Amino acid sequence: MPKSADYQAWFFDLGGTLVEVEDDEIAVTSEGRIIPVSDAMDALARLRGRPIFIVSNQASVAAGTLTATQAYDFIRQVNDLSGGAVTDFRLAMHPPEASHPWRKPAPGMLTDLALVYSLDLSRCAMVGDSINDETCASNAGIGAFFWINDFLGIYAD
């Protein structure tokens, strides 16, 4: 199995990959705290030292059921729970019918981060939970795609 050091950087989806989803929305407690996918924060923390990026469609912002501030707070919470492992993130806050270059399965969020951080996407890995994530990785030329359960089987203890 490949080791985390085999990849120049890691890209992660948010909902369903790092945090739980309920009714197609990020699951939160009554206090607004995210509910992490079991073992995901520990696995993310183990990758610390490598660039780690979150790339997520957040159509709920366009729909008005979530604010941009709340979406940014989800990322902050993941970063806190993973011991500061997150390097940067991109959110596509466009409706599903939008053909925006950042909205997965389009590769724009990944290619933007690759440009900013001088990454060779063919030497990077992505972790996700949907066909949109897998297609996005393929469209961006990502070197390896892991389904979240497979990733946790390798990188979580």
Share of the chain above pLDDT 90, in %: 85
Domains annotated for the chain, with CATH where assigned, are 10-155 (3.40.50.1000)
Whether 54 and 108 have beta carbons less than 8 Å apart is answered as no
pLDDT at 155: 85
pLDDT at 30: 93
Give the 3-state secondary structure of residue 140: helix
CA distance 126 to 91: 15
* Confidence bin at 26 (pLDDT 50/70/90): very high
How many Cβ atoms from other residues are within 10 Å of residue 157's Cβ?
A: 7
Comparing 1 with 47, which gets the higher pLDDT?
47
CA distance 2 to 154: 9
Q: Which residues contact 153 (CB under 8 A, 6 or more apart)?
A: none
pLDDT tens for 106-150 read 999 999 999 999 999 999 999 999 999 999 999 999 999 999 999
pLDDT at 34: 96
